[in-house]
Amino acid sequence: MMIDSILLVDDEDLFHLVFEDACSLLDISLSLRSMNSSDEAAKLFKEWSVGDKSQRPECVFVDLNIIGSSFDGIELIRKINFEYGNHVVIGIISSSNEPEEQSKALQAGAQFWIIKSDDIEPRLEEFKKDYQGYKNRTNPFKVYR
């Protein structure tokens, strides 16, 4: 199944291109929005929480360390989940593979952790297969290595 809309929050512009191309090639989603700042993303979610919820993306991918932002990806997930309402599939996409960070992300409400690498497509393809479980909130937290 295709994801209706995706939001990517990552400070690396090049990864925006990689992610967009990978999503297009894998037919993951037709609608993709990318941002560089967790502050900007938090601001949008705050607006959506009180305003037009139809604009809210269905799935959010957040980088762990977002350079130039006030807070990191885990804190953004915590805000989205516990401050602005838990209505999206959300997880981390990062080159880090630290179990301690993954544990923190899980506590913040992340549903998945995708490890960035040169070859991201196989992980996104696997994620696409599991997506329905995340949407239904039946899948446990999973790390895509």
Closest-CA residue to 60 (of 25, 31, 99, 95): 31
Total length of the chain: 145
The residue from 1, 31, 83, 86 that contacts other proteins (CB under 8 A) is 31
**Residue 17 binding other proteins, by CB under 8 A:** yes
**Residue 115 binding other proteins, by CB under 8 A:** no
**Residue 93 binding other proteins, by CB under 8 A:** no
**Residue 4 binding other proteins, by CB under 8 A:** no
Q: Work out how close the CB of 61 gets to other proteins at its nearest, in angstroms, rounded to a whole number.
A: 17
* 73 and 112 Cβ atoms separated by less than 8 Å: no
**Residue 27 binding other proteins, by CB under 8 A:** yes
**Residue 97 binding other proteins, by CB under 8 A:** no
**Residue 118 binding other proteins, by CB under 8 A:** yes
**What totals of helices (H) and strands (E) does the chain contain, helices first?**
5, 6
| Binding span for other proteins by CB under 8 A among 3-11, 27-35, 68-76, 99-107 | 27-35
Task: Name the residue with tokens 């401050």.
Answer: 83
Q: Computed from CA positions of residues 34, 114, 102, 133, in that sequence, does the dihedral angle turn out positive or negative?
A: positive
**Residue 67 binding other proteins, by CB under 8 A:** no
Q: Could you tell me the end-to-end alpha-carbon distance of the chain, in angstroms, rounded to an integer? A: 22
**Residue 30 binding other proteins, by CB under 8 A:** yes
Q: Computed from CA positions of residues 15, 55, 65, 137, in that sequence, does the dihedral angle turn out positive or negative?
A: negative
Query: 28 or 41, CB closer to other proteins?
Result: 28
**Residue 21 binding other proteins, by CB under 8 A:** yes
